[in-house]
Structure 1
Amino acid sequence: MKTITLVIASLIAFSGAAYAADATAPVKEIMDATKSNWADNNSDWTDVFEASRLDHLYSQDFVARYKAAAQFPAADDDGISPFDYDVIVNGQDACPLEDMTMAAAPPVNGTTEVTVRFQKSACADTADAKDYTTVRFEVVEEAGQAVIDDIVTENLETHGRDSLKATMALIAKGQ
């Protein structure tokens, strides 16, 4: 009897996992756009925060924070973005992205951390050209769909982590 109960419990747990949203899907779409943005032959920049992406790739909380921060554009020439840098590569300059890897950790309290690593300066002639950049996407499920709730980058000065949601909150406060 214990065996049957264990088998049934395992099947129920497995079936729930099979129907869970793919946490890497929204991250892959953002990383594909970012990789294309930094490709050698790319002339069209893809905004990873354009309206159609905001609608389906990001959580409601992230979108609300982005829209509040967007009231304070970083540059007058576009008048849209609250950022004056690429938030994924965490800088204004990069080479074509190389050696990209993506891995999802098991969910913790409803959040799946998807870690992306890549080389953003491989074409540069500098000592840190082969260093890896690590970006962590916090992915949650809303309405049965995996969506990005935060983008966390490494702070090169403090060696800590910088939350994009926290940065957007500061921008929205005019800071």
Structure 2
Amino acid sequence: MRRPNQERDSRLVAIVGPESSGKSTLAKELAQRYRGVWLPEYARGALPGTSYEETDVAMIAREQLARENDFCEAEPTFGVLDTDGIVLQIWFKVRFGHVPEFLLRHIASQNPREYLLTYRDLPWEPDPQRESKDDLTALFDLYETTLQAWRFDYQVVRGIGERRVKNALDLLNAQRA
């Protein structure tokens, strides 16, 4: 995988966190505010609901990672990932009890990025693909320990509505200061 030119003033931000924690909304807002581009979560359109097999998730993961690679190759000035390998890793771990080797290899060699971990302080909203309403605290903790295990720097985003967006902007701006 090609790494972006470190001398180039470009940023890649990955939004990760439990379901119903505002990842997609935040990704779109950040891309708009920074006049950047965002890569949507592929699984959103690929699965009709919560009935699926491991092979379905593996196909989704491969497609998401391929799209991420293409996205990074384009070297956007400001790019936002609505999901990345960390989200996929946790999905595999929680649903199937293990993580495929291809996914771990991808995460180990991925393009450098800043992580924003969305806190679970938003009201849970039903959705045909959501399946962990009662596990949001445990999922948040799993995201934190997973990011720490990979030794990825991350910031936790809290707040509701515009406050959440402002908090994310403040965190990102502080990292650049």
TM-score bracket relative to the smaller structure: under 0.3
Larger RCO: 1 or 2 (CA < 8 Å, sep 6+)? 2
- The structure number with the bigger radius of gyration is 1
